[in-house]
Amino acid sequence: MIAIFVSLFSGFLCGFLHLLPASFSWYLDSMVDGALLVLVFGVGMELASNDEAFRETKRIGFEIFLLPLVAMRGSLLRALGVAVFSSLRVTESLSVASGFGWYSLSGVLLARLGNPSLGLLAFMTNVFREIITLFGVGWVYRVLGGWAAVALGGATSMDTTLGLLSRISEGRLVPLGVTSGVVHSLFVPICIALFSRFL
């Protein structure tokens, strides 16, 4: 937990104070892609020595595909609630929540299909969702269980939060996390395109 906070905060400080050489920011995207592949490769290696994960997947069965659909429904229902208590219109709130944690895509898509302000709000919302997941996934796993922990991460459960899911569940949640992340990711552009038509 402390390492997560230190990494995020020190990165923010380095970016804010321009402490890094310019070449670092030029290659940032490539380095992020590389780090993501290294992380997922490592999760794959850990998964290979964990038979419990496969027993768990077998036990869950076909319903493994229902979890992300239920989680997306939960996100969108709560987004409706946000629209009631904020200045956002229902379609704006649903469009923003449709990022399901995938901040880069949702921000860009909404800036293009909706308006730049909404794109920025989507970006910030989904960045926050990822940060909330990183700090809260352990607690949610203990209190609400594995499915809730996977659902909390949304689309990030197949990449950034996969390592944490693997760690807290000793690998058992990895297949569920990957499946949920893939289904969420497939639905992000579809939902955003759908809701942004009514903006």
Residues 100-119, interacting with another protein (CB under 8 A): 100, 117
Q: How many residues bind another protein (CB under 8 A)?
A: 104
Check residue 26 for interaction with another protein (CB under 8 A): no
> Is 190 among the residues that bind another protein (CB under 8 A)?
no
Nearest approach, Cβ of 197 to another protein (angstroms)? 20
Asked if residue 191 binds another protein (CB under 8 A), the reply is no
Q: Contacting another protein (CB under 8 A), which of 130, 187, 195, 196?
A: 130
CA distances from 192 to 63, 70, 73, 91, 92 (A): 25, 17, 14, 10, 10
| Residue whose CB is less far from another protein, 116 or 198 | 116
Nearer of residues 139 and 198 to another protein, judged by Cβ = 139
The residue with tokens 């895509």 is 105
Q: Closest CB to another protein among 74 and 197?
A: 74
Interacting positions 139-158 with another protein (CB under 8 A): 140-142, 144-152, 154, 158
Amino acid identity for residue 150 in this structure: V
Query: Which residues within the stretch 169-188 sit at the binding site for another protein (CB under 8 A)?
Result: 169, 172-173, 176, 178, 182, 185
109 vs 150, beta carbon nearer another protein: 150
**Residue 121 binds another protein, judged by CB under 8 A:** yes
CB of 114 to another protein, least distance (A): 14
Q: Which two tokens stand for residue 139?
A: 């607690």
What is the SS3 string spanning the chain?
A: CHHHHHHHHHHHHHHHCCCCCHHHHHCHHHHHHHHHHHHHHHHHHHHHCCHHHHHHHHHHHHHHHHHHHHHHHHHHHHHHHHHHHCCCCHHHHHHHHCCCCCHHHHHHHHHHHCCHHHHHHHHHHHHHHHHHHHHHHHHHHHHHCHHHHHHHHHHHHHCCCHHHHHHHHCCCCHHHHHHHHHHHHHHHHHHHHHHHCCC
Residues within window 35-74 making contact with another protein, judged by CB under 8 A: 35-49, 56, 59-60, 63, 66-67, 70-74
Question: Binding residue for another protein (CB under 8 A) from 106, 110, 114, 126?
Answer: 126
Work out how close the CB of 14 gets to another protein at its nearest, in angstroms, rounded to a whole number: 6
**What is the number of other CB atoms lying within 10 angstroms of the CB of residue 187?**
19
